[in-house]
Structure 1
Amino acid sequence: MQLAHTRGIFNGNVLVSRNGKVIYEKSLGYADGSKANVLTSAYKFDIGSVSKEFNGAAILLLKQRGKLSLDDPISKFLPELPAWASTVKVKHLITYTSGIPGFEPTSAESDSLVWANLKGLKTLKFEPGTAYIYNHYNVYLQMRIVEKSKRATLRRFHY
C-alpha cells in the first residue's frame, strides 16, 4: 500500500485483521484534496461500490448451480414489475445494459422508493443490451433476484 501511495494511486486508511485482532493499520495521504489535513484513522470513508461485485458473484454461483440462467428475464423472479421486465434479462443487470433509466436521486431514497419507482416505470430508456447506463437500480434488482433464488432453493429443501 505504501508503494501504491508513493505512485499516487492510493490515498486512504488500511486495516488488516486476523481472527478479530488488528495486525496492520496505516493511514496514507491526506484527508482532502487541498492536502491541508494529513489523513488519520479518525477519518472515515464511504465503502462505495465495492459490494456490487458480491451480487455478480452470487448470480454466477446461482447460474453454476443451475438455479438461474443469465438469459432469464427478470420477470421470472419479479413478476410484480411492469411488462418491460420480460425484456430485461439477468445478464443485462450485471452489465448495466438493462435500459432502466437513472431516477432523480434523493437523500431519502429507500428500498421501498426504489421498488415504487421500478413498478411505476412505463418504458425503458433503450432496448436492453443496446447501450450502457450505470445506476443502482440494476444493483437493487440483482439483490432481489439473488434473494428470490435463495428463497426458492430453501423452500425446496424444507418440508
Structure 2
Amino acid sequence: MKLFLLFLNVVFLTLPVYAKEALSTDYWGNIEEIVHETGFNGTIVVGRGEQILLHKSVGYADAVKTIPLTANHLFSPGSVGKEFTTVSIMQLAAKNKLKYQDSIARYVDALPAWANKITIEHILTHTSGLPDVKWKKGISTADAIHQIQQGTPAFEPGTGYKYTNLNVVVRALIVESITGKSYADYVDSSIFKVADMTHAFHQTENEQVSKTVVSGDFPTNMAGLTIYVTPLDLFKFENALWNGSLLSAEQLKQALPGDSLSGQTNRAYFDFGKFFVDDNGSLVSWEHDGSNPSHHTIKHHDFISGNVIILMSSDGNKSTLYKLLSELKALTSEEIKPTNLRANKAIQPTANASAD
C-alpha cells in the first residue's frame, strides 16, 4: 500500500550565529550535582556548530571499575544507530539507485512470499509487519534472516505499526545488494568517514569486539545494528546531517512528517526519533534515544539555540540522561538572546504525495 505523507508546515533553520557572551555558560558546574547524585557513568558532549562547549567523561569503562572512562571509549547507541541505515537508504534514493515503493524482495533473496508486499518505505517507517527479533547472545545477520523466513507477519504491510530491529537489518541488506559492499564497508566510507567519525565502527564478528567498548551492551553481530560510537562521533554525525554532507535539506524535510500509524503524532516518519514544532509549525528541535541494554543514548538538537546535546551512559539508568538533558536545555534557554540569532530560512514542504 502506498503511504502518503501528511505534510506539516515544517520550517528548517540555518545554524545560528552567536555573540561571544553566549558561550560563557558553565555547563559542567550546573549539572555536576546531578551527575554525582545519580551515579551517572558515561560521557557528555554539548556543542554548537563546530564549537564544543562541554566534553566530559565520568566513571569507568569496565564492570569492575578499574579502567577510567575516557572520551575515546565506545558505546552502543541503541536505536539512535538506526539512523545510519535510514541515511544509507536515503543516500541511495538520492542517487536513483532505488525507489521507496520498491519491494524489498527485489533486493533481498530468500524471503518468504508474504514479504513481497513489503516496500522499502515500509521498513523505513516500521509499518512492514515484520515480527519482533528473538534475541540471543551473538545473534547474527543470518539468524535475523532465518527468523524472517520462519516468522509470520504481524499485519498487512502499511496497515499497522511495529517497531522492530528486523526492519533495520533488511535496510542494511538492501544497501549491500545495491552497492556490492558489506554494510560495514558502506557505512564506514559513506557516513563515518564523511562525517569525520574517527572512532565509529560496525562489528560483524565476535572477534572484532574492540577493547574500547564500554561494558554493558548486549553482544550481537547484525548488519546495520552492531555499531559502536563515541559521543563526539554522534555529535559530528548530527552536524554532518544538517550541513549537507550526508543528505540534502529536502530529503530531511520529507523524512519527518507523515506518520499516522504509530499513535505518536511527533514521531518522525522515517527512523529519526521524534521532532517538535511550535504553534506555527516551525521546527524547534528533534530528539532520538536508544538503549542496549545498559547502554543508553540521547541525541538532542535544538534548532533555536543551535545546541546539540549528546548523552551516552552505561549505568543502566536512562532517567539520569533525561534529568541531565532537562537541565542542559534549561541552560540553553537562559543564555540565548534573540539578537544572537540569524534570520531563519524556511523550506516549504513539497506538495506531492509519496516519499519517493
Give the TM-score taking structure 2 as reference length. Answer: 0.33
Match of 2:142 among 80, 87, 112: 112
Distance of aligned partners of 1:45 and 1:55 in 2 relative to their CA distance in 1, 3 Å threshold: closer
Letter in 1 for 2:116: S
1:157 maps to what in 2?
none
Q: What is the rounded CA distance, in whole Å, between the counterparts of 1:108 and 1:82 in structure 2? A: 24
Q: What is the match of residue 151 of structure 1? A: 180
- RMSD, aligned α-carbons: 3.2
Between the aligned partners of 1:144 and 1:126, the Cα distance in structure 2 is 22
User: Partner of 2:98 in structure 1?
Assistant: 68
Structure whose residues are more often strand by fraction: 2
Give the C-alpha shift of residue 149 in structure 1.
1.0
Does the Cα contact within 8 Å between 1:97 and 1:131 map onto a contact in 2?
yes
Whether 1:2 aligns to 2:27 is yes
Q: Counterpart of 1:52?
A: 82
Give the Cα–Cα distance (whole angstroms) in 2 for the partners of residues 77 and 150 of structure 1: 11
For the residue of structure 2 that corresponds to 1:70, the secondary structure is coil
Aligned residue in 1 for 2:159: 130
User: Which letter does structure 2 place at the counterpart of 1:53?
Assistant: E
Provide Cα deviations, 1:62-92, integer angstroms capped at 9, x if missing partner.
Answer: 1111110000000100132111121000011
Q: Which has the higher helix share?
A: 1
Q: Which runs of 5+ in 1 are unaligned?
A: 17-23, 32-36, 153-159
Deviation at 1:44, TM superposition (A): 6.5
- Residue in 1 that maps onto 2:56: 26
For residue 50 of structure 1, give the secondary structure of its aligned residue in structure 2.
helix
Aligned residues: 134
Q: Which residue of 1 aligns with 2:171?
A: 142
Is 1:81 the equivalent of 2:105? no
Superposition deviation, residue 27 in structure 1: 2.5
The 8 Å contact of residues 80 and 119 in structure 1, kept in 2 or not, is answered as yes
1:58 maps to a residue whose letter is S
Q: Which has the higher contact order (CA 8 A, sep 6+)?
A: 2
Q: Distance in 2 between matches of 1:44 and 1:70?
A: 33
Matched residue of 1:118: which SS? helix
**Equivalents in 1 of 2:162, 2:122: separation in Å?**
10
Q: What secondary structure is seen at the aligned counterpart in 2 of 1:130?
A: coil
**Unpaired runs of at least 5, structure 2:** 1-25, 35-39, 47-53, 182-356
Q: Is the 8 A contact 2:131 2:148 kept in 1?
A: no
Question: Mean Cα displacement is larger for which, 44-53 or 125-134?
Answer: 44-53
Question: Counterpart of 2:174 in structure 1: which amino acid?
Answer: I
1:65-124 residue CA offsets vs partner (Å, 9 max, x unmatched): 111000000010013211112100001101111101113322232212112111223x31
| 1:2 to partner: Cα distance | 2.9
Letter in 2 for 1:148: S
Calculate percent identity across the aligned residue pairs. Answer: 32
Whole-Å separation in 2 of the counterparts to 1:103 and 1:25: 35
